[in-house]
Amino acid sequence: MPLMRWEPLREIDSLQREMNRLFDSFTNDGSPMERTTTAFVPLAEIEETTDAVHLKLEVPGMEAKDIDIQVTAEAVAISGERKSEIKTEEKGMTRTEFRYGKFRRVIPLPVRIQNTNVSADYKDGILTLTLPKAEEEKNKVVKVSLG
């Protein structure tokens, strides 16, 4: 059996590369090409008041013209595309961890709304929708029987 020289620094470097690959597999961060094709799903908050449903979506890095909002009496569909700015460096490497691509999210509403009176605001990457409740939902009385 031939003798091999032990190089601890080389083994530490190899261990670091393997650990990086392991963590990349857990976070689904593959190659830069894979990252640019992975779409994102905007996070949402929904709040119901006596008169309306208030919906907020987090869509940073987009312009209002790139967001499409469609509202029915029972749901809100929001779609858009976050476009990447491709920067190339002659010497060195460019790495991005941002998510780019198309997205579509349909959010069912807890009550029927008047989809003709919806108001929207987009500021600092937050899309805010005010969805007024339908009149029959405001005046809805439910009879509860005992026994």
- Across the 147 residues of the chain, what is the mean pLDDT of every consecutive 10-residue run? 73 79 62 49 91 93 89 91 70 70 89 91 94 80 69
> Whole-model pTM above 0.85?
no
The Cα 64–Cα 80 span in angstroms is 9
Please tell me the predicted confidence (pLDDT) of residue 53.
Answer: 94
Domain spanning 41-85+97-138 has what CATH number?
2.60.40.790
Please tell me the predicted confidence (pLDDT) of residue 144.
Answer: 76
Please tell me the predicted confidence (pLDDT) of residue 61.
Answer: 82
In the chain, the DSSP E strands lie at: 44-48, 52-58, 67-71, 75-82, 101-108, 119-123, 126-132
Please tell me the predicted confidence (pLDDT) of residue 133.
Answer: 92
Please tell me the predicted confidence (pLDDT) of residue 58.
Answer: 92
Please tell me the predicted confidence (pLDDT) of residue 11.
Answer: 79
